[in-house]
Amino acid sequence: MGLQKCTLNLNRAFKELQPHGTLEFPCAGYNKPYTDSADDVIVWHWHEELEIVYIKEGHLKLQIPGKTFHLTGGQGFVINSNILHFAVAEPYCELHSLVFHPLLITGNEDSVFARKYMTPLVKCTSFDGCLLDGDSPTDHFTAAFSALSSDAPGCEFTVREHLSSIIFYLCQKYGQEIGGDCAEPDQDTIRIRKMLDYIHSHYSESLELAQIAKAADIGERECLRCFQRAIQISPMQYLLKYRITQGASMLLQNPGSSIAEVSSQCGFDSPSNFSQMFKRFFTCTPREYRRRNPT
């Protein structure tokens, strides 16, 4: 079993495509150091699995729509299924995480574990993310993570046991909300997904605020308010950051392309503007970035 390599493979709707674990044991563990460098952030994404992150050392800013958390060493956080999230180190952290499908706990969708506990929990609108405060839930995480890392005989039993304890802890914590209105994602989340999907599909074009807003069938003012409520950044700031990160990837993936070609492909009107914005985010020029990261 062991730990998996930590990478993000997203589709146009920024859903993570990488499988976590296997069909037989749908759980994966990750251990990676992060810095606050622009190319080391965990970009906005979502997946069907729940995720538990634990700060082994350092500090991490974690965002879910409408909420920001500043986590420090020894703290954990649970992100519910299908919830957008973003994270960046402040300025460094060693991050441990476990990503697991509800079926790991329930076995099947008709079991008592699914019907009585897991399904009501993941559909609970009050539970988008939860800080693990107290020794008990974080101890369960570290025990599960240690077991998965060791790949010792029977580690699967240990992982499922301790993750089940965390799920039961959450069921108790959200007991009054569970069983109420188990709705679809809220309106802001639906709108943000549509607008980010549009940006990701058209970032190389000349985009205006009105076009981004139209993707979610809302006006420009509501578009600005929705971005601020959900991810605390304006649409055009998000577009600029996305263009720069795509440009950074193109610089390394296409070493034969000129800076002018890359700048045009990621939506900038001139190489000088691209270089200026790139240096603001990466503290180096595109050429220096290429030299520091040889393929």
* pLDDT per residue of the chain (295 residues) written in tens, 0 to 9: 566 666 655 565 556 556 788 889 999 999 999 999 888 889 888 888 999 999 999 999 999 998 999 999 999 999 999 899 999 999 999 999 999 999 999 999 899 999 999 999 998 888 999 999 777 899 999 999 999 999 889 999 999 999 999 999 999 999 887 765 444 567 888 899 899 989 989 999 999 999 999 999 999 999 999 999 888 899 999 999 999 989 998 998 898 999 999 999 999 999 999 999 999 888 899 999 998 887 6
**What is the pLDDT, as a whole number, of residue 6?**
63
pTM attached to this predicted model: 0.82
**H/E run at residue 271:** helix 271-282
Q: What are the tokens at 282? A: 């990466």
Instruction: Confirm if 229 and 188 have CB atoms less than 8 A apart.
Output: yes
Assigned domain for 140 exists = yes
Domain that residue 100 falls in: 27-173
Same-domain pairing of 35 and 152? yes
Same-domain pairing of 163 and 236? no
**What is the pLDDT, as a whole number, of residue 187?**
84
DSSP-based helix, strand, coil % in the chain, nearest 5? 45, 20, 35
Amino acid sitting at position 254: N
Taking each helix axis as running N to C, give the angle between helix 271-282 and helix 235-253, from 0 to 180 degrees, rounded to the nearest 10. 100
Same-domain pairing of 212 and 271? yes
Same-domain pairing of 50 and 163? yes
Same-domain pairing of 169 and 31? yes
Assigned domain for 22 exists = no
- Peptide bond just before 91 cis, omega within 30 deg: yes
Same-domain pairing of 35 and 169? yes
Distances (CA, A) of 291 to 64, 74, 153, 185, 255: 35, 37, 45, 44, 10
Instruction: Confirm if 20 and 49 have CB atoms less than 8 A apart.
Output: yes
Assigned domain for 260 exists = yes
Closest of 95, 105, 173 to residue 137, by C-alpha: 173
**What is the pLDDT, as a whole number, of residue 282?**
87
Instruction: Confirm if 55 and 100 have CB atoms less than 8 A apart.
Output: no
In sequence order, the 6+-apart residues with CB closer than 8 A to the CB of 216 are 190, 191, 192, 194, 195, 223, 226
How far is it between the farthest Cα atoms of the chain?
61
Assigned domain for 166 exists = yes
Last residue of a domain, one of 147, 173, 199: 173
Instruction: Confirm if 242 and 233 have CB atoms less than 8 A apart.
Output: no
Task: Indicate which CATH number applies to the domain containing 71.
Answer: 2.60.120.810
Same-domain pairing of 231 and 268? yes
Measured in residues, the chain has a length of 295
In a 3-state reduction of DSSP, which class is residue 250? helix
Same-domain pairing of 168 and 196? no
**What is the pLDDT, as a whole number, of residue 277?**
93
Assigned domain for 1 exists = no
Same-domain pairing of 90 and 194? no
Q: Is 267 left (phi over 0), alpha (psi -120 to 50) or beta?
A: left
In a 3-state reduction of DSSP, which class is residue 244? helix
Instruction: Confirm if 254 and 287 have CB atoms less than 8 A apart.
Output: no
In a 3-state reduction of DSSP, which class is residue 19? coil
Q: How many alpha carbons lie under 13 Å from residue 255 in its C-beta half-sphere?
A: 9
**What is the pLDDT, as a whole number, of residue 182?**
47
Same-domain pairing of 106 and 199? no
Assigned domain for 150 exists = yes
Task: Indicate which CATH number applies to the domain containing 248.
Answer: 1.10.10.60
Count of domains for the chain: 2
Last residue of a domain, one of 127, 147, 173: 173
Last residue of a domain, one of 173, 200, 217: 173
Same-domain pairing of 71 and 138? yes
Residue 15: CB atoms within 10 A of its CB come to: 16
Instruction: Quickly tell me which residue has 């958390």 as its tokens.
Output: 69
**What is the pLDDT, as a whole number, of residue 37?**
86
Contacts 24+ apart (CB under 8 A), 145-148: 145/29, 145/54, 145/96, 145/98, 148/1, 148/2, 148/3, 148/27, 148/29, 148/98
Assigned domain for 69 exists = yes
Assigned domain for 108 exists = yes
Task: Report the alpha-carbon distance of residue 167 to residue 121 in Å, rounded.
Answer: 8
In sequence order, the 6+-apart residues with CB closer than 8 A to the CB of 205 are 267
Same-domain pairing of 162 and 239? no
